[in-house]
Structure 1
Amino acid sequence: MIAYGYARVSTIDQDLTIQQRALRSSGCRVIRAEKASGSRRDGRTELALLLDFLNAGDTLVVTRIDRLARSLKDLQDIVHELKAKGVALRATEQPVDTGTAAGKAFLDMLGVFAEFETNLRRERQLEGIAAAKARGVYRGRKPSIDVTEVKRLKEFGLGPTAIARKLGIGRASVYRALEVG
């Protein structure tokens, strides 16, 4: 049995050191780590690499289940993939053992709470934005595309690809800017 560790934090200013240390002390020689949101799997290249690499008899180790997934569906999908490959899942800080009915039930409960926490955070954020808008403090993100500059470059004779390169924006953004006004 080979134990492979996976560590994740959500933002670039957070530190992975504590998770990596815990994974190493639990026997993981290979640890993949990334700074990415746990609410979706896309963009989590280190997790995808590990899931592709693991073989029957291996164990995927995380410090806590919420480091692996923040939605119940995503967690269940990952556990299903691991089970199909014959890979066990273990958490160093939680009594998770996917080989028993009690361990699986506990894992599902943790997934429900992780998703609940994510939804609560999202609701609080939206409430805060609404309150800031009501006070006139929040106006949203400033536009990143200067529509007048896009139109000026178009009038100058540049095509959408050249405009996108010059301004460092996507070609679709150029088309949208040209449709405005």
Structure 2
Amino acid sequence: MPNPRRIGYVRVSTSDQLIDRQIHSLQERCDDIRIEYISGAARERPVFDALIRDLSASDTFVVLDVDRAFRSAVDALVTAQNLRERGVGFDIINLPVDVQTDLGEILYGCLALFSQLERKTIRRRTREGLAAARKRGVRLGRPAILPDTVIREAHDWMREAALPCRYVTWFLGVSRLTLQRGFRRLGLEYPIH
């Protein structure tokens, strides 16, 4: 039988988010750490899925917080049950109880439900904040690549001078899609010759 391993799992939604806090907490307690840059709500999490499949009896799966590994309370409970049935240990550093015990399992389930509630609350507040910003006239999303005056000029070149789109986009250094979006944003029809 291979030596038991403690394998940590770190997840952040984007590559520009810091993982230092998770790494620092797991480093001293794990033999190996797997890192994944993906939304916790993603249906497919290749690193997580491979790690869970790779764990053997007597290994231990380690995470800093419940919400770093699971999409929902159901996902958390099903995965914990699956690990338990396979003889794999499970350690949540910020949950100071053994989740393998009856009491630990109940506390873990409650924590998973609270994590799910927190995610839903954050999502709802974000939607409400975006809706309020739109009502105030705030333009959301990335800033426009081309100023309005340049878009109007490009429209004139294509409509009046009959310049093909490929020449205009080459000259401006943008894609056809960027130019089309600019026209749409200003309410200009795409000139078709």
TM-score > 0.5, shorter chain as reference: yes
The aligned amino acid for 2:138 is V
TM-score (norm 2): 0.66
Residues 72 and 111, structure 1, Cα contact 8 Å, conserved in 2: yes
* Whole-angstrom distance in 1 between the partners of 2:113 and 2:59: 26
Which of the residues 15, 29, 50 maps onto 2:18?
15
* Whole-angstrom distance in 1 between the partners of 2:137 and 2:126: 16
* Whole-angstrom distance in 1 between the partners of 2:105 and 2:67: 15
* Whole-angstrom distance in 2 between the partners of 1:48 and 1:7: 13
* Whole-angstrom distance in 2 between the partners of 1:32 and 1:140: 32
Q: CA deviation at 1:18?
A: 2.6
* Whole-angstrom distance in 1 between the partners of 2:14 and 2:140: 24
The aligned amino acid for 1:25 is E
* Whole-angstrom distance in 2 between the partners of 1:29 and 1:140: 41
Query: What percent of counterpart residues are identical?
Result: 37
Q: Helix, strand or coil: the match of 1:56? A: coil
Q: Note the alpha carbon deviations across 1:153-178, whole angstroms, 9 max, x for none.
A: xxxxxxxxxxxxxx89xxxxxxxxxx
The aligned amino acid for 1:12 is S
Q: 1:15 to 1:140 in 2, by over 3 A?
A: closer
1:171 counterpart residue number: none
Q: Does 1:120 align with 2:152?
A: no
Q: Tell me, which stretches of 5 or more residues in structure 1 are unaligned? A: 143-166, 169-181
* Whole-angstrom distance in 1 between the partners of 2:42 and 2:72: 8
Q: How many residues align?
A: 143
Q: CA deviation at 1:104?
A: 0.4
Q: Helix, strand or coil: the match of 1:8? A: strand
RMSD, aligned α-carbons: 2.3
Greater Cα radius of gyration, structure 1 or 2: 2
Q: Tell me, which stretches of 5 or more residues in structure 2 are unaligned? A: 144-175, 178-193
Q: Does 1:6 align with 2:9?
A: yes
Residues 40 and 74, structure 1, Cα contact 8 Å, conserved in 2: no
Q: Helix, strand or coil: the match of 2:9? A: strand
